[in-house]
Amino acid sequence: MEEQRNEIEEEYLENLKTIRLLVTAVGNEFPDQTIETLSSFVRKHPETEISIAEYPDSLNAMQKHISLSLVLAVTFEDSSIKEFGIKMVLSRQHPYKPPKIYLDEPIIPELFNFFDYLSAGNVISFDDLRIWDRYYSELNKQKLVDGEYQKLTLEYLLAKVYTLLSVAPPIYHDFMSA
């Protein structure tokens, strides 16, 4: 038991080193908060793969981002389980800009007509992501640093994605048979 705990702690410390390197490599503007956010998330989800990914910004210039990939096992009402790949992409302005969340599965454009939370490119969107900027506005930065405004976290967003997928799973064959 003690040996297993030591292995978990060693893995966490190794992940923390990786997180620090990635945050530095992407030039994150708020490194302390981002490192704290990511280390907390990885401690709860050690299977998370962390990497650097390039995505276009609003002007289509490629920018480095931190990408978190994990598999979310969703249990349905009938007790069946389906695994969905999820990717959360954090910009250099995280936590003051929302992460982009993707369904990391093959893109099936027909699904976009059936699920209001899923759009082109398998982007997952919901209200909390749309209000993120206002929630973490410049005026609220000090409150965030002081420990207030902790609702919108990566953990919270992952729970919201789980709920969306469990209530309305984006599975195409269901529509083929309807």
CB 66 within 8 Å of CB 26 = yes
Least Cα distance to 52 among 75, 8, 85, 18 occurs for 18
**Is the previous residue joined to 98 through a cis bond, with omega within 30 degrees of 0?**
no
Cα–Cα distance for residue pair 164/43, rounded to 1 Å: 24
The total number of structural domains in the chain stands at 1
- pLDDT 10s digits, 130-153: 888 777 765 555 555 555 555 678
Residue span of the structural domain in which 61 resides: 2-176
Residue 121: give its domain's CATH number. 3.10.110.10
- Least Cα distance to 37 among 156, 117, 122 occurs for 156
pLDDT at residue 101, rounded to an integer: 96
User: Average pLDDT, whole number, for the chain?
Assistant: 82
Pairing of strands 118-119, 100-103: unpaired
Is the per-residue pLDDT at 62 higher than 70? yes
For 20-49, write each residue's pLDDT tens digit: 887 888 887 778 888 888 888 988 888 899
Kindly report the length of the chain: 178
Could you tell me which residues come within 8 angstroms of residue 134 by beta carbon, excluding any fewer than 6 positions away? none
Decide which of 149 and 157 is more confident.
157
pLDDT digits 0-9 by tens, 76-106 = 888 889 999 999 999 888 888 889 999 999 8
Residues 109 and 176: their CA atoms lie apart, in Å, by 14
Within 13 Å and on the Cβ side, how many CA atoms surround 75?
Answer: 1
Cα(74)–Cα(76) distance, integer angstroms: 6
Give the β-pairing of 100-103 and 81-90: antiparallel
Once rounded to an integer, what is the mean pLDDT over residues 111-116?
Answer: 86
